[in-house]
Structure 1
């Protein structure tokens, strides 16, 4: 790994430091500048005479790290410091600044509107911070970011909140709307404040809201364009209906409960008219009955047909326990025999095609006959292979009714109760309760009930009220999905989806529904701009009427639909263009648009008119059937392309135990508590916004994301370690100005050049991680132990150290903007008032890339590791090394680190961390008896494998006879009271 390699080199470099050079020296314990030595005697003799004095006299000649950057910030100090950073570094003005600057490219992340119905929660934190990390990265790399936060402001949950405060009776639409708006505005204010505190970069004074008149007008223009193309139409057909909410629901508004309990039944439909082959069987044995299975017995009164699979095989079977004759699919006979607890003897077989023309008696409606009809949706995996078909209460059933012109009779009202059409025995009974039981009793009374059982299965619920829905026909407004499906799939194939596994779910959602119900029977929403003729009920809607209403909405907001007189909504000139009659012949419609149509048209209302396509949409996986889908369909309908180039689909936040967070369970984690602390600071200490951001960045957002004390403690510890590293870097750069004192890389030691080489690799990896929406990969680089060794053990040149500090600070900035700006305030080489986010991304240079040098340094590290393994428990500094390498490429590389055969101050010696290193092609024969010998080999691989050489080496480690220098603490002196030659040179001020 890159950082491991850096660490391996750094251990020795940091230990010894280089020859002193002004502005170039950096190691804290052993680095010096001539300015520190001005009051020391300029003669070598004077320096030597002073050596015998107290070693403390050299303290002033050693540069120790010094910085005002605090090692640790906790509690209220941390919270206050983050707020101070936001003010001092202009967090609130940053978005506007970057929009005003010139940039070659724009990056557009379109914000999916969170729902304005509550306080900010962890899902908000995950989503908004994930977006902000990418936006800040793109801004740092020089792009102009387009990001306009928004809120979804309409819909039933907000309306129910308003009704809860006002009551539910005698309220006008405007009373409900006014209270709903107030509630939404309060939620928006709380959420906006939280997003700002988290450091999310945006122009918070110019957001978008789906209840703004300009937004609503843009939405109506999309509605009109789709209506003019015939994609939006009114019809009477089955929809998901919520009795608890009294409104139609779209697929995206459903929440499937996998533990729903139903009473499933097996019931018989006696065959009335048979084909000749079946009539022969009946003539010999008796009456034959088709056996059907359903988990919704209440739909039996609405039955209009029994469906079979045309190419399947069917059998007439005789029950051993009662001699009853049943018609079932041949593939289901064995399973049914077990279920019914009796043998089923086949007395005749027929193909599905032979069942055409068969007619059954309806079991609960005397005198009514229903046909057997072919249908491809019949499933042989369960049931009987014959499907009870009630067109009013099933999407597939309705499709059969459309093909065969069957009646669609609705016997269920808006409250989910049987109407008078169901007969006196069922009238007013709730279909999901007592009505269901009554139907079962009716079947039992006529001998049509074969078996009743409890069934646990997945069933759709209203996602707001958490109550089961029913399917019932209603006159609604629909979008024809079937006509858009193929084009939607085509454009979706060009969209990058992360993770790729989410693409299948997107395609499945497209296939699940042939139409989209977009009308809702509520007050709080965008009214569908339609007028109905009082006598005929025919809708009046065209480009003239919709354009006029859209203009009114743009100027006055959609409240005017209820506030203005009808002749203002439908003036004479519009009636004339519409070739309609007098305005008194019309009434305005009461329905509002589905909120998914609200948010799904945001691309038209928010993105730039010239190119309403975002680089990316980033939302939770629930939006696969919601905003992702509605945005795609409306965009394909109008502009025949997707509104996004890429989709990032993240998962949900769960508790530390992996459970869904719930107020009733008590495992909710509040982001405000994370930042500011809870009531008991010992239990819930303040972590600050950067810890919250680090948690987001470090998480694998494509699976469930856990949050809790251990995750937060880990995030805090990671940042603390980073903070320690940054303090070390800042301390060692005290007094250094890169603008005037930087050293050219060509003048640096090889080790320093190598570290710049690795720093360039690091910058590329970090850039790639952020570009791939993988902040987790970035945090893994930052958390690598080798990374901190690399930084803290340092290198030999302040220029390199400043480059490391600068690169590190910029690389953490998208995730930790508060910490990054704090470091930048203390870092050298900046103008007063300059901030990091206005100064760009990591500045690495192509000249830093030195592949050959990489082999030299890493070869030396391999030799050093062999040596260290031979002296366990001993100090490497107390040894001298003799390194034997046969003449060849490895020998030449080591020579580049030590030109003379033997040296105490060469770069090779610094890497070995020893007193002296001798490089030779053969070990001497007179090695001391206590010499420790180690062996190894190093594979050199250059130019992509063109040059390969596996070189062997031997290392002899001999205890040094040199004394420890009282100043630099290396074993390089002739005696304990004598300075080594390098320290003498430094103290005399020689260069």
Structure 2
């Protein structure tokens, strides 16, 4: 049985095409229309459906089936974070990761999480990074993609990686380590000779250099080969010495002479140099001026650039292979690939040593009197064993003679006359984190499904991971790389601790000390802000942005509350109506729902969470709240509780609730779980995250339904546009359609010529609707007429027909029913025929 679908009329081919609207179609259809406003511009309508909630004040209150749910409309103030914490505990959020890992699946989705923040409290930029990373983890509850596998490595506390790093460096020849100079900043230069002002008989050459121009200064600059990259490059071209007269503490060495020795370069050392120039009568002028000079970005103090001996990896031999392998990696956004290749091209070598008081030591022994070092497979194997037994502190705590294997120790002076001392250099932290893939990816052929970090890591963690993986196994460690931008303040300014404009995510979630100025938004608002932002560029955060995100969630919350309230008393296992027996508008919503589910799933796979938010927002505001809900309220509230018309609607609502809930769960896990707990027919497990991903049915896809709904909505827009601001239920409508395919399609929505209970009248939201194939013989003079056309386009254009229609609007002669408030009663004190039957049946 199909409710109200009883086709009649001529045209076998047209009828066959129309019938295909209600079965699983094979048609590809492209609806179009002219002469009216499309359904997407839905007008708000007052009338029966919007007044029903007031009807419970009358004597028929108990006969109206209003929504029933304990799901709260709003969570105010502290209720939001408190409810989220309660949900986390009740639904076992902390156990989800273990549950995922224990599931028996064919493949695992591996998110290799990047190095976390180690210097102080995380700020909202780190929250952005972690939210982007954790959303795929929630999405991959799907059996075929399965659990998240992640590993975090601290930049400044990655000593646990020490044995791993050493194992990788046993084949030291492959990485081609070199001892050389590290340049940490820059300076300037030009050509001839000139006398040194303080050293007699010393001639200093004047040399050409590309970095010196006439656009700044005199075009003649001093050159210090040991104190700047550009100076060093010029000195290297012309074989100049690169002696450094400044030590690690920023003071002059004894080589600088007794007058300067132990003087701080940027303090008293400057005064001494001026005095020396005055004494030698070479000081022409002394004055203070403001000029550009390198400063440390953390301490805001000037720095002295100097050359120092470091360990380098020559990456020239692996660069070509690395760039070739990057072509097989998916970068999001795509422009990040070019940016990473460019940074790789600019890097001839990699300095892997640092001088810090903490970190993973480089296991090199230095000769005490000669410029020689000791490192080989024997020494590294010995260190590895010691670290495995006692931890990485052994490098700093054990006596030097115990750090060497006996066979090597005997060759270098023995325990009492050891010629070598352990080096004090540590590994570059990016070498530490860059080798973490070998722990996360135990298989030699395995690659992580996803690496995720900010755009600054194109030359950092992304690159160090790539280089170490290519050097040791000729393979990139990742399949996909997602690169996000940085967070900015309300005015677009950079967010940093030094500027004092860092936003604490804990304050966003739980509120500040003054919660009137810093209210608690909860974690879901923060997650929604991340998801809806274009995270591949810079992302702005401010109170206005967070308030907008909270408003979005409030609207979504009301939509979900409507869905929950109207599936009360419904059991999908026993009460669902077969798809082909459902109301056409209900079938149409399932058709839209499947399309939504496919697009959302694809957007998650593309890590385009902003598109997920846009799709959800458009669906729950436009398709649900503004369109579908306004049409079905009468059927939900006033039809018999177990009647087929109401059950058809509830079947659609249950499926809509399920798809929307699972679609938003990765972004708003707390809201999703809260809703899931309020579903009246839900069963164990009591967590949406243990029940799989979105499920739809192929029989929902019925493109032909678009012809019926879109054409009817075009006519409805003509009707509503003719009575702006008026109650649509107070009018009756005559629709005149010339004979043809459009008439046959619309006729299947209304079997009778005139009806107040047909599917067509439900869509029109009028008192009653009359469907005619020719003009009525007579109409009153006070009618309103609107004309339009609609183009039917089926089978990719094989069936194409444009039909004209006319909508005739006139005031109804019926009275308002005291139960449903539709203008379908004979008098104000009597029920309309439909309500009389429902109440009488009870």
- Shorter-chain TM range is 0.7 to 0.9
Superposed displacement of residue 591, structure 1 = 1.5
Instruction: Look up the match of 2:383.
Output: 549
Instruction: Look up the match of 2:675.
Output: 823
Matched, 1:210 2:158: yes
1-side partners of 2:522 and 2:830: how far apart? 52
2-side partners of 1:895 and 1:381: how far apart? 81
* Mean Cα deviation higher: 130-139 or 395-404: 395-404
Superposed displacement of residue 546, structure 1 = 1.2
Superposed displacement of residue 85, structure 1 = 0.9
Do the aligned residues in 2 keep the contact of 1:620 with 1:650 (CA within 8 Å)?
yes
1-side partners of 2:38 and 2:655: how far apart? 18
Change (3 A) 1:6 1:480: farther
Do the aligned residues in 1 keep the contact of 2:142 with 2:692 (CA within 8 Å)?
yes
Instruction: Look up the match of 2:174.
Output: 229
Instruction: Look up the match of 1:842.
Output: 694
Matched, 1:809 2:661: yes
Instruction: Look up the match of 1:861.
Output: 713
Deviations 1:786-837 (A, max 9, x none): 1533564364610100011111111110111111011111113322443100
Change (3 A) 1:690 1:738: same
Superposed displacement of residue 735, structure 1 = 1.1
For residues 298-317 of structure 1, what are the structure 2 equivalents within 5 Å? 306=190
Deviations 1:853-876 (A, max 9, x none): 112101110111111111123222
Matched, 1:693 2:537: no
Matched, 1:123 2:87: no
Matched, 1:703 2:555: no
1-side partners of 2:468 and 2:420: how far apart? 29
For residues 189-204 of structure 1, what are the structure 2 equivalents within 5 Å? none
2-side partners of 1:451 and 1:476: how far apart? 38
- Structure 2 segments unaligned to the other structure (5+ residues): 1-29, 32-36, 633-645
For residues 914-929 of structure 1, what are the structure 2 equivalents within 5 Å? 914-929=766-781
Change (3 A) 1:621 1:509: same
Matched, 1:219 2:174: no
Instruction: Look up the match of 1:261.
Output: none
Instruction: Look up the match of 1:881.
Output: 733
SS in 2 for 1:952: strand
- Structure 1 segments unaligned to the other structure (5+ residues): 18-26, 32-53, 155-208, 242-293, 301-305, 308-357
1-side partners of 2:615 and 2:752: how far apart? 38
2-side partners of 1:128 and 1:760: how far apart? 30
For residues 685-764 of structure 1, what are the structure 2 equivalents within 5 Å? 685-764=519-598
Deviations 1:528-573 (A, max 9, x none): 1011233434111012211221232233221111222333321214
For residues 93-172 of structure 1, what are the structure 2 equivalents within 5 Å? 93-140=95-142, 142-152=144-154, 154=156
Instruction: Look up the match of 1:798.
Output: 650
2:825 pairs with 973, 978, 981, which one? 973
Superposed displacement of residue 5, structure 1 = 8.3
1-side partners of 2:663 and 2:627: how far apart? 15
2-side partners of 1:91 and 1:976: how far apart? 56
2-side partners of 1:530 and 1:794: how far apart? 77
Do the aligned residues in 2 keep the contact of 1:462 with 1:469 (CA within 8 Å)?
yes
* Mean Cα deviation higher: 905-914 or 412-421: 412-421
1-side partners of 2:46 and 2:707: how far apart? 17
2-side partners of 1:378 and 1:633: how far apart? 34
Superposed displacement of residue 731, structure 1 = 0.8
Superposed displacement of residue 654, structure 1 = 2.8
Superposed displacement of residue 761, structure 1 = 1.6
Change (3 A) 1:295 1:593: closer
Do the aligned residues in 1 keep the contact of 2:487 with 2:538 (CA within 8 Å)?
yes
2-side partners of 1:916 and 1:526: how far apart? 81
2:331 pairs with 480, 497, 515, which one? 497
More contact order relative to length (CA 8 Å, sep ≥ 6): 2
SS in 1 for 2:88: helix
Change (3 A) 1:376 1:580: farther
1:961 pairs with 813, 818, 830, which one? 813
For residues 37-48 of structure 1, what are the structure 2 equivalents within 5 Å? none
Superposed displacement of residue 747, structure 1 = 0.7
1-side partners of 2:270 and 2:718: how far apart? 81
2-side partners of 1:641 and 1:5: how far apart? 53
Instruction: Look up the match of 2:11.
Output: none
Do the aligned residues in 2 keep the contact of 1:738 with 1:828 (CA within 8 Å)?
no
> Which TM-score applies when normalising by structure 1?
0.73
Superposed displacement of residue 99, structure 1 = 1.2
* Mean Cα deviation higher: 508-517 or 540-549: 508-517
Superposed displacement of residue 83, structure 1 = 1.6
Do the aligned residues in 1 keep the contact of 2:750 with 2:759 (CA within 8 Å)?
yes
Deviations 1:204-223 (A, max 9, x none): xxxxx6232xx221122223
* Mean Cα deviation higher: 59-68 or 639-648: 639-648
Superposed displacement of residue 753, structure 1 = 0.6
2:626 pairs with 789, 797, 803, which one? 789
Instruction: Look up the match of 2:752.
Output: 900
Change (3 A) 1:638 1:650: same
Change (3 A) 1:427 1:740: same
SS in 1 for 2:78: helix
Do the aligned residues in 2 keep the contact of 1:13 with 1:794 (CA within 8 Å)?
no
Do the aligned residues in 2 keep the contact of 1:136 with 1:814 (CA within 8 Å)?
yes
Where is the strand percentage greater, Structure 1 or Structure 2? Answer: 1
Change (3 A) 1:100 1:883: same
Aligned length: 787
For residues 415-426 of structure 1, what are the structure 2 equivalents within 5 Å? 415-423=249-257, 426=260
> Which TM-score applies when normalising by structure 2?
0.85
Change (3 A) 1:607 1:436: farther
Do the aligned residues in 1 keep the contact of 2:39 with 2:717 (CA within 8 Å)?
no
Change (3 A) 1:752 1:509: same
Do the aligned residues in 2 keep the contact of 1:552 with 1:560 (CA within 8 Å)?
yes
Change (3 A) 1:402 1:665: closer
2-side partners of 1:446 and 1:497: how far apart? 63
Change (3 A) 1:682 1:371: closer
Instruction: Look up the match of 2:18.
Output: none
Deviations 1:858-899 (A, max 9, x none): 111011111111112322212221112222332222122223
Instruction: Look up the match of 1:328.
Output: none
2-side partners of 1:934 and 1:962: how far apart? 23
1:522 pairs with 356, 359, 384, which one? 356
* Mean Cα deviation higher: 913-922 or 637-646: 637-646
Change (3 A) 1:943 1:421: farther
| RMSD (CA atoms) | 3.6
1-side partners of 2:517 and 2:470: how far apart? 51
Deviations 1:102-155 (A, max 9, x none): 23432221111213231232122111112111211122465223333424152x
1:933 pairs with 758, 768, 785, which one? 785
Change (3 A) 1:427 1:631: same
Superposed displacement of residue 960, structure 1 = 1.7
Do the aligned residues in 2 keep the contact of 1:217 with 1:550 (CA within 8 Å)?
yes
2-side partners of 1:462 and 1:433: how far apart? 16
2-side partners of 1:946 and 1:384: how far apart? 78
2:414 pairs with 582, 592, 599, which one? 582
Do the aligned residues in 2 keep the contact of 1:360 with 1:371 (CA within 8 Å)?
yes
Instruction: Look up the match of 1:81.
Output: 83
Deviations 1:306-347 (A, max 9, x none): 57xxxxxxxxxxxxxxxxxxxxxxxxxxxxxxxxxxxxxxxx
Instruction: Look up the match of 2:301.
Output: 467
* Mean Cα deviation higher: 784-793 or 629-638: 784-793
Do the aligned residues in 2 keep the contact of 1:30 with 1:63 (CA within 8 Å)?
no
